[in-house]
Amino acid sequence: MAAGKEFMVYNSLTRQKEIFRPIEPGKVRMYVCGITAYDLSHLGHGRAAVNFDVLFRYLKHLGYEVTYVRNFTDVDDKIIIRANKNGEDPFSLSSRFCKEYLKDMGDLQCLLPTHQPYVSDHIEHIKDLITQIINKEYAYQVGGDVFFAVDKFPNYGQLSGQKLEHNRAGERVAVDSRKRNPADFALWKSAKPGEPSWESPWGLGRPGWHIECSAMSAHYLTFKFDIHGGGIDLIFPHHENEIAQSCAACQESSVSYWMHNGHVTNNNEKMSKSLNNFFTIREITEKYHPLALRHFLISAHYRSPLNYTIAQLESSSDAIYYIYQTLQDCEDALAPFREEGLKEGADQNGRTVKITPTAQECISKLKNEFESKMCDDLNTAQILTGAFQDALKFINSSLNGLKKKQQKQKQLSMVQSLTDVKKAVTDDVLDVLGLKSPHTYSEVLQQLKVKALERAGMMESDVLKKIEERKQARENKDFAMSDQIRADLTRKGIALMDVGKETIWRPCVREEPIEEEQKELPTEEEHKVLPVEQKEEQKQLPSEEEHKALPVKAKEQPASA
């Protein structure tokens, strides 16, 4: 463990932070619920993927060998409904949106999981699991359907705190009179005309939603593994049902840590397709660099709600530009010394070059603060401030000193100091957070400038023309016009900077009032006719504080995937 610190994670099951201890020393097995592939992914999907990608990266940073599984649901009511509406084969539709999801995740620099299973490829595993559950008398068959009997599982509700008597019929799903208990859920659904289906001991049909994750997590990770993750909206009923069915199939089934990320909100309302107030990742990255979006997504603690605003994206975009401009300036300043043959840590004669005490203190603070925050349940919200900003300031202030004439050995010490601080910034922080781009610094800066021009509704030639007009105004001593041109561009997110006799431009936070993007919400009458599964999305889950206050079941009871 880095710097002797214990990695603490918040366990949704016990409602407290716990020291992370994997089942098998040195190895971590992790399952995260993926998307139902019937549309482009929205910011909620992006937040879950980015947050668990940070966890994946940090576990690897700590030296663990990680097996990371994230599934694709390619068999589901929503997929079938959308495919029928489009006159498209359901598997063609889901395959297309799985590919689009992977493109979005690639843009957001999410590492590929170890395994990305599709439900349709694991039907046999799902049927075997259902058979085990039936044989142990936790499920029953009605016609061609198979339902899980929640009354048979005494610990039902241990994750969410939901009690069976609170699940009044008809509140979450349409009442099925064939169920023994309204809260019973489908493990297998009988086939309907025109829907994908498979042969089974119960007749033609397809899996229920919840059973897929239990089957696939058991297949790739066994019934006992370390981490199960997903959005907070999955706690109930999805993850609660996973626990019930997995424990019913295998008494030893357990997940050590349940981790859930908070909602993304828009105007403090949960983003959801049913409310039509969501934004797709693609919509955002058309205007903002994916690094800016990733920065925004980790700007709040993963368990807290994250409120989407244009102002926040502007701020994240500006922060990324500042980081990469600092790294580019450092790279430019160090280039001549590298050309002279300076080796890392030694001069041309092989003598050791020590970094300055200030640089050493800067690196130590940066590493200690990074590990402290990350070990505290991945507190990314506070990592890109404090010591990280101090490291960037050190680089910028040292660049000026490097240009001054000074003793050779002192100059080499400054070069090595800059090299080491820059490495700590990029390799010890940005890389683990997924903010280190595979592109060069100059390429990223140019990409950010292109996005800024798009938001301003301008071409670079327009900006250069304005720079020339301002130059002419200054020559004519028309300073009011000069200031006006500069102010007009700043309001559009274009900052002019006078460097010597030259004027350059860079993106900045727009000063003009930013009209927040909103989408029209459904009326009360429209909401009444929403499909059942969409109404279900709108049930408010407990807040973080409310969740902590829920009763905790006996800790010795196993909790499964």
Question: How do the domains of the chain map onto residue ranges?
Answer: 8-135+211-286, 323-443, 457-507
pLDDT of residue 557: 41
List Cα–Cα distances, 64 to 23, 182, 376, 424, 425, in angstroms.
12, 43, 18, 21, 22
CA distances from 482 to 456, 476, 494, 503 (A): 19, 10, 15, 12
Q: In what order do the strands lie in the sheet with 65-70?
A: 65-70, 27-32, 224-231, 254-261
Collapsing DSSP states into helix, strand and coil, what is residue 198?
A: strand
- From the list 212, 151, 219, the residue with the least C-alpha distance to 187 is 212
Residue 270's pLDDT is what? 75
287 close to 451: Cβ distance less than 8 angstroms = yes
pLDDT at res. 171: 42
Contact present, 387 and 374 (Cβ < 8 Å): no
Query: What per-residue confidence (pLDDT) applies to 276?
Result: 75
Per-residue pLDDT at 533: 34
Angular region, 63: left φ>0, alpha ψ -120 to 50, beta rest: left
Distances from the Cα of 174 to the Cαs of 169, 191, 409, in angstroms?
A: 8, 18, 78
Would you tell me how many other CB atoms lie within 10 Å of the CB of residue 83? Answer: 20
Using CA atoms, how far apart are residues 71 and 36, in angstroms rounded to an integer? 9
16 sits in which H/E element: strand 16-19
Contact 162, 551 (CB under 8 A): no
HEC string for 223-275:
CEEEEEEEEHHHHHHHHHHHHHHHHHHCCCCEEEEEEEECCEEECCEECCCCC
- pTM for this predicted structure: 0.90
Tens of pLDDT, residues 211-269: 999 999 999 999 999 999 999 999 999 999 999 999 999 999 999 999 999 999 887 77
- Helix (H) or strand (E) segment spanning residue 28: strand 27-32
> Residue 347's pLDDT is what?
53
Cβ contact 116:33 at 8 Å? no
DSSP 430: I
SS3 559: coil
Q: What pLDDT is stored for residue 163 in this prediction?
A: 75
Identify any residues that bridge with 91 across adjacent strands, giving them in sequence order. none
CATH of domain 8-135+211-286: 3.40.50.620
Low-confidence ranges of the chain (pLDDT < 70): 1-4, 164-174, 273-274, 339-351, 405, 512-561
Roughly what angle, to the nearest 10 degrees, separates helices 43-61 and 90-107?
Answer: 60
Token duo for residue 398: 């040292």
CA distance 167 to 539: 12
Return d(Cα 209, Cα 178) in angstroms, integer: 19
User: CA dihedral defined by 49, 55, 56, 59, rounded to 10 degrees?
Assistant: 180
| Nearest-angstrom CA–CA distance, 14 and 161 | 11
d(CA 544, CA 525): 31
Distance of CA 70 to the CA centre of its chain: 13
Angle at CA of residue 288, ends 286 and 292, nearest 5°: 140
Is the Cα torsion angle 83, 89, 95, 100 positive or negative in sign?
negative
pLDDT at 167: 52
Q: What is the rounded CA–CA span in Å between residue 80 and residue 119?
A: 14
